[in-house]
C-alpha cells in the first residue's frame, strides 16, 4: 500500500511539472524577444538612407508603364480582388457555422461507464456476507427533443460475488434495460422555445448576408467614385499642361516683340512669371493625379498593380452626361425596398420578437414530467440474465412530477421588460432610419440636378472665356494690351475648363450616389455573390 501511495505522489509531481512547463511556454510565446526595444525606443528617420540612390541598387522589376482602364473593367477588378470584399465574403460562412452549432444541441449522445468495488466489512450475523466484489457496466444514449424533453435509453449489466454462504446465486449477474422520458410542461416546453437560439442564429446569418451585400455595393460605388475622380484629375492635368504651352507661346511672342522694339522688357518678365506660375500648377495637378491613382489601385488590388508600382492608370470611359427627370416618389419606394440597412433592422426586430416570446416563457413555473420504464434480468451468468431480460418477466413503471415556482420572479420579469423596451427602441430607430434614407435620396436627387445645371453653366462659361482669351491675344498683337491681360485671360479659360471637368465628374459621381442611396449599383450589369469558404 505504501508503494502505491508513493507512485501516486510521484505521478502527481510529474504531471504538475508538465502543467507548469506548459504555462511557462505560453508566457514565453507572448513575451517574445525584442518587444521591449520596440516599445521603449523611438528610432530616427534618416531620409538619406531611404533615398532613391539606395533603391536604384536593387534589381529593376518589369512593370507596365500604362494601363488603359474602362469603368466596366474597374468594377470587375474590384469585385474580383478587393480585400474588403474578400474579407466580408467569409463572414456568411462563419454565420452559417453558428447555425450549425445551435442545431447541434439536438444531437444524440452516447454514454458509457464502468466501475469495480470490493468491500470487506464486519457483520453481526452469519446471514450477511462480509466481503463483496461488485462490477458494473452501463451504456446509454441520450436523445434531446425539440419539445424540450430528453429520452434516455440505458442498458446496465452488473456482477456480484459475495462470501455469504446463504446466497443462492454466487456470483450473480443482472441486466437492466430502461427507457426514461423527462419533459417540461410549462417553462422550456415546446418547439418554438427550444429552437429560439437556432432562430436567432438564422436571423444573424441573414443580417450578415445583408451586411455583405451592403459592403459590396459600398466598395463598388467607391471604385466608381475614384474612377471619375481619377478621370477629372487626368483631364485637369491636361488643362494645366495646355495652359503651360499657351504661356510658353505667349513668352516667345513677347520676346519677338521686344527684340523688334515694339514692346518693353517688362512684357518678357510678365510672360516668364506666367510660365513659372503655370509650371507650379502642373506639379500640383500631377501630385493630385498620383494620389487618386493610389486610391483606385488600393481598391482594385490587382496582382502586379500595387500602390507602389509606377504604372499609370488611364481612364478610357468618357463622361457622357444624360439629364434625368426623376420621380421622387418612385425613387423613394425603390430605396425603401432595396436598402440593406432597413432589412437588417427588420431582422433585428424579428429577433427581438423571438427573444421577447422566449423570455415570457421563462417566467412560467418549471413543471417537469418524468417517466421511466425498466426491464430487469437476473441469472447465474450474463447470458442467463440477458435471457430473463428479453423475456420481459420483470417490468417496472415509474411516473414523477416536479414543480418549481419562483416567488417574486423579479429577475425573469426584468429580463422580459428589457427585451420589450429594446424592441420598442428598435421600432423607433427603424422609423428614424427610414427618414434618414428618405433624406439621403432627396439630397442625392437634388445634387444630381444641381450638377447637371453646373455642367450647362460651366460649358457656357468655358465658351465665353475662350472668346475672351482670343480677344485679349489679338489686343496684345495689335499693341493694345499687355502680357498680363493675356495671361489673366488664359487663367480664366483654364479655370473655366477645370470647372467644366469637375462638373462632368461630379455629375457622374452624383449618379453613383443616387444609386447607392437606393441600395443599388449604377449600370446594366447585375452582381450575384456567393459566400467564400477559406
* Phi, psi for residue 530 in degrees, rounded to 5: -130, 145
350 sits in which H/E element: helix 340-362
Predicted local confidence at residue 523, as pLDDT: 75
User: What one-character-per-residue DSSP string does 323-340 give?
Assistant: -----HHHHHHHHHHH-H
| CA–CA distance, 490 with 468 (Å, rounded to integer) | 9
List the grid coordinates of 382. 450474463
* 279 touches 286 (CB < 8 A): no
Radius of gyration of the chain (CA): 42
Predicted local confidence at residue 392, as pLDDT: 86
| CA–CA distance, 291 with 281 (Å, rounded to integer) | 15
Tell me: cis bond preceding 48? Omega within 30 of 0 counts. Answer: no
Residue 136's nearest CA partner among 119, 154, 160 is 160
Predicted local confidence at residue 372, as pLDDT: 96
Q: Give the number of other CB atoms < 10 A from CB of residue 528.
A: 4
Predicted local confidence at residue 122, as pLDDT: 77
Residue 354's nearest CA partner among 190, 211, 208 is 190
Residue 313's nearest CA partner among 334, 331, 333, 291 is 291
List the grid coordinates of 428. 423607433
3-state helix, strand, coil in the chain (%, to 5): 60, 15, 25
Tell me: cis bond preceding 78? Omega within 30 of 0 counts. Answer: no
Determine the Cα angle at 459 with ends 458 and 461, to 5°.
Answer: 60
Residue 524's nearest CA partner among 14, 71, 153, 66 is 71
Predicted local confidence at residue 7, as pLDDT: 55
List the grid coordinates of 460. 457656357
User: What one-character-per-residue DSSP string does 407-464 give?
Assistant: SS-HHHHHHHHHHHHHHHHHHHHHHHHHHHHHHHHHHHHHHHHHHHHHHHHHHHHHHH
* 500 touches 455 (CB < 8 A): yes
Terminal alpha carbon distance of the chain: 56
- Which one-letter DSSP state was computed for residue 50? G
Alpha helices in 158-302, H assignment, sequence order: 191-194, 196-259, 266-300
pLDDT tens digits in sequence order for the chain, 534 residues long:
445 445 556 656 555 555 555 444 545 555 556 666 677 777 777 776 666 655 555 445 566 788 899 999 999 999 999 999 999 999 999 999 999 999 999 999 999 999 999 888 776 666 666 788 889 999 999 999 999 999 999 999 999 888 776 677 788 899 999 999 999 999 999 999 999 999 999 999 999 999 999 999 999 999 999 999 999 999 999 999 998 888 888 888 888 888 877 778 888 888 888 888 888 889 999 999 999 999 999 999 998 888 888 889 999 999 888 899 989 999 999 999 999 999 999 999 999 999 999 999 999 999 999 999 999 988 888 888 888 888 888 899 999 999 999 888 899 999 999 999 999 999 999 999 999 999 999 999 999 999 999 999 999 999 999 999 889 888 888 878 888 888 888 889 999 999 999 999 999 999 999 999 999 988 766 788 888 888
List the grid coordinates of 195. 429552437
Residue 370's nearest CA partner among 187, 181, 190 is 181
Predicted local confidence at residue 1, as pLDDT: 44
List the grid coordinates of 204. 444573424
Angstrom distances, CA of residue 469 to CA of 308, 500, 521: 41, 17, 42
List the grid coordinates of 114. 464502468
| Cβ neighbours for 389, distance < 8 A, ≥ 6 positions apart | 175, 176, 177, 375, 376, 377
| Cβ neighbours for 246, distance < 8 A, ≥ 6 positions apart | 490
| CA–CA distance, 494 with 472 (Å, rounded to integer) | 15
* 140 touches 125 (CB < 8 A): no
Predicted local confidence at residue 469, as pLDDT: 86
Predicted local confidence at residue 120, as pLDDT: 80
Phi-psi region of 434 (alpha: psi -120 to 50; beta: other; left: phi over 0): alpha
Angstrom distances, CA of residue 211 to CA of 176, 208, 218, 231: 55, 5, 10, 30
Coil, strand, or helix at residue 174? strand
Q: Using CB atoms within 10 Å of the CB of residue 92, give its burial: 0 to 12 exposed, 13 to 18 middle, 19+ buried.
A: buried
| CA–CA distance, 238 with 476 (Å, rounded to integer) | 25
Name beta bridge partners: 162: 132
| CA–CA distance, 236 with 147 (Å, rounded to integer) | 70
The side-by-side arrangement of strands in the sheet containing 131-144 is 109-120, 131-144, 150-162, 172-184, 366-379, 395-404
Residue 331's nearest CA partner among 214, 444, 215, 225 is 444
| Cβ neighbours for 85, distance < 8 A, ≥ 6 positions apart | 78, 79, 215, 216, 219
Predicted local confidence at residue 368, as pLDDT: 95
Query: What is the maximum alpha-carbon separation in the chain?
Result: 148
Amino acid at each position: 500500500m505504501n508503494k502505491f501511495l508513493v507512485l501516486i505522489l510521484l505521478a502527481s509531481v510529474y504531471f504538475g511539472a508538465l502543467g507548469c512547463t506548459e504555462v511557462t511556454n505560453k508566457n514565453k510565446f507572448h513575451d517574445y524577444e525584442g518587444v521591449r526595444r520596440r516599445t521603449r525606443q523611438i528610432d530616427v528617420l534618416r531620409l538619406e538612407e531611404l533615398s532613391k540612390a539606395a533603391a536604384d541598387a536593387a534589381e529593376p522589376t518589369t512593370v507596365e508603364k500604362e494601363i488603359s482602364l474602362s469603368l466596366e473593367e474597374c468594377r470587375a477588378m474590384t469585385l474580383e480582388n478587393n480585400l474588403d470584399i474578400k474579407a466580408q465574403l467569409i463572414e456568411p460562412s462563419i454565420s452559417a457555422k453558428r447555425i450549425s452549432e445551435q442545431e447541434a444541441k439536438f444531437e444524440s449522445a452516447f454514454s458509457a461507464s464502468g466501475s469495480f468495488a470490493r468491500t470487506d466489512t464486519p457483520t453481526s450475523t452469519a446471514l450477511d456476507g462480509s466481503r463483496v466484489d461488485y462490477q458494473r457496466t452501463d451504456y446509454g444514449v441520450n436523445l434531446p427533443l425539440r419539445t424540450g424533453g430528453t429520452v434516455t435509453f440505458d442498458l446496465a449489466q452488473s456482477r456480484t460475488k459475495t462470501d455469504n454462504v446463504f446466497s443462492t446465486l454466487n456470483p450473480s449477474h443482472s441486466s437492466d434495460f430502461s427507457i426514461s422520458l423527462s419533459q417540461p410542461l410549462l417553462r422550456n416546453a415546446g418547439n418554438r422555445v427550444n429552437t429560439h437560439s437556432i432562430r436567432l442564429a438564422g436571423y444573424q446569418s441573414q443580417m450578415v448576408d445583408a451586411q455583405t451585400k451592403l459592403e459590396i455595393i459600398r466598395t463598388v460605388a467607391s471604385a466608381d467614385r475614384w474612377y471619375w475622380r481619377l478621370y477629372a484629375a487626368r483631364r485637369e492635368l491636361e488643362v494645366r499642361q495646355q495652359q503651360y504651352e499657351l504661356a510658353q507661346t505667349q513668352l516667345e511672342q513677347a520676346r519677338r516683340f521686344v527684340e523688334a522694339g515694339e514692346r518693353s522688357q517688362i512684357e518678357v518678365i510678365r510672360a516668364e512669371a506666367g510660365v513659372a506660375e503655370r509650371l507650379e500648377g502642373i506639379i500640383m495637378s500631377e501630385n493630385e493625379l498620383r494620389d487618386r491613382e493610389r486610391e483606385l489601385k488600393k481598391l482594385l488590388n490587382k496582382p502586379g498593380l500595387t500602390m507602389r508600382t509606377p504604372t499609370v492608370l488611364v481612364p478610357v470611359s468618357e463622361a457622357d452626361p444624360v439629364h434625368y427627370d426623376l420621380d421622387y416618389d418612385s425613387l423613394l419606394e425603390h430605396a425603401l425596398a432595396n436598402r440593406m440597412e432597413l432589412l437588417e433592422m427588420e431582422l433585428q426586430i424579428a429577433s427581438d420578437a423571438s427573444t421577447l416570446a422566449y423570455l415570457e416563457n421563462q417566467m412560467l413555473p418549471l413543471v417537469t414530467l418524468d417517466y421511466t420504464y425498466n426491464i430487469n434480468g437476473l441469472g447465474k451468468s450474463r447470458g442467463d440474465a440477458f435471457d430473463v431480460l428479453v423475456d420481459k418477466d420483470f417490468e417496472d413503471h415509474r411516473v414523477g412530477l416536479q414543480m418549481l415556482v419562483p416567488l417574486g420572479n423579479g429577475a425573469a420579469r426584468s429580463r422580459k421588460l428589457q427585451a420589450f423596451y429594446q424592441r420598442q427602441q428598435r421600432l423607433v430607430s427603424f422609423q428614424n432610419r427610414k427618414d434618414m434614407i428618405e433624406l439621403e435620396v432627396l439630397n442625392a436627387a437634388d445634387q444630381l440636378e444641381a450638377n447637371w445645371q453646373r455642367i450647362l453653366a460651366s460649358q457656357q462659361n468655358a465658351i465665353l472665356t475662350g472668346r475672351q482669351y482670343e480677344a485679349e491675344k489679338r489686343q496684345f498683337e495689335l499693341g493694345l494690351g499687355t502680357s498680363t491681360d493675356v495671361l489673366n485671360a488664359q487663367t480664366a479659360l483654364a479655370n473655366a475648363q477645370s470647372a467644366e471637368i469637375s462638373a462632368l465628374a461630379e455629375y457622374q459621381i452624383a449618379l453613383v450616389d443616387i444609386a447607392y442611396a437606393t441600395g443599388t449599383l449604377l449600370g446594366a450589369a447585375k452582381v450575384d455573390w456567393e459566400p467564400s469558404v477559406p
